[in-house]
Amino acid sequence: MTDNKENRQGQGGGPKTVLGKVSSSKNAVTHGATSKQLLNADEERKFHLTLQEFEQNYNVNHPLVKLQIERIAQTQIQLQRVQKMMLVQFQKSQLNSQIDEDLQKAMDFNADTADLKLLRDIDPDYRNYDYITKIAVEIFVIKQQEAFTHEDVLNKMPQFIKHITAEAKTVNQDLHSYIKSELEHKRRLKRPGIVLKIIPPGHTEEDIVPPQDINDIVKDYSIEDWQDFILIKQLEIHKAMTMERKINDYQKLLP
Amino acid sequence: MQEASLPDLDTYDKLMRYQTSLNNQLSKQIGELVELEKTYSK
């Protein structure tokens, strides 16, 4: 590329040919809605038609009347243009909505996936796919071990702990009670009617205050409990990942 | 699904305001034309 003074921005550059000048005159036109100029042949035809109609009914011999009629015709064109744009906006959104619906049907979106998509669209604080992936990796790593300990849960699963703590909060439970209710729910499904509760001798159920410290909470459940609980969460996370992947694919396919 | 069928509200709002302004402008211009017509047809 040659650099000379004439071609520098703001120093004598710019279009030289007629075609270039015409083209650059439209540089600032984005949608043209507010333009006072007539934008196409159809607008010119309508402008002249309106002029004719007025001229048939008004005394156009006076230049002020003639000027006023031209102003009215111009405003009318602008008004029709903006009304057309509003209609186009509606038609465009209806078309997008139809494409949206057809695509979701084709991709076999269920109600949960559709809800998640809506949540992603409207919630600016929505935690993204990376967040779920990090938890899935932690679960994968811990399940690779032949046997894991309470320390492993505490030290190797920070995202998982953070996730279940947040989940407990959303259902207005403390973490200990949340883990307990999830395990009980799962076990009830497995063996309907049987719920095991271990209450130390000399205590009633009400006497037992659940621990608040994360170390105590983790250690209050057996490794078998943690295996079950991690499995419950793993299935949920797998489901969420599948939905997230589906929504990502869907967004890539959108026009 | 319902959200998708709504147009871009920001754009739509601007167009609505522009439409209102043009409507007012047109009414004013027609009023002025009627006045001019009265003045110069005498």
| Residues of chain B contacting residue A68, judged by C-beta atoms under 8 Å apart | 29, 32-33, 36
Same domain? For A97 and A132 the reply is no
Q: Residue A86 and residue B19: Cβ atoms within 8 Å? A: yes
Reported ipTM: the value is 0.83
Q: How many structural domains comprise chain A?
A: 2
Residue A21 lies in a domain: no
**What is the extent of the structural domain holding A99?**
33-106
> pLDDT 10s digit of each residue in chain A, 255 long?
444 555 555 556 677 776 566 566 555 545 566 666 777 788 889 889 988 888 888 777 888 888 999 999 999 999 999 998 888 888 888 888 888 888 888 888 888 888 888 777 777 777 667 788 889 999 999 888 878 899 999 999 999 999 899 889 988 989 999 999 998 888 777 655 555 555 566 666 566 666 778 888 898 899 999 999 999 999 988 888 888 888 888 878 776
Same domain? For A201 and A247 the reply is yes
Which amino acid makes up residue A84? K
CB atoms under 10 Å from CB of A80, counted, come to 15
pTM of the model: 0.48
Residue A5 lies in a domain: no
Q: Residue A122 and residue B41: Cβ atoms within 8 Å? A: no
Structure tokens, A22: 């015409």
Same domain? For A165 and A244 the reply is yes
Q: Which residue of A has its CA nearest to B22?
A: A79
Q: Residue A96 and residue B4: Cβ atoms within 8 Å? A: yes
Q: Residue A97 and residue B18: Cβ atoms within 8 Å? A: no
| Residues of chain A contacting residue B20, judged by C-beta atoms under 8 Å apart | none
Residue A6 lies in a domain: no
Contact A229, A179 (CB under 8 A): yes
Residue A8 lies in a domain: no
Same domain? For A131 and A248 the reply is yes
Same domain? For A135 and A243 the reply is yes
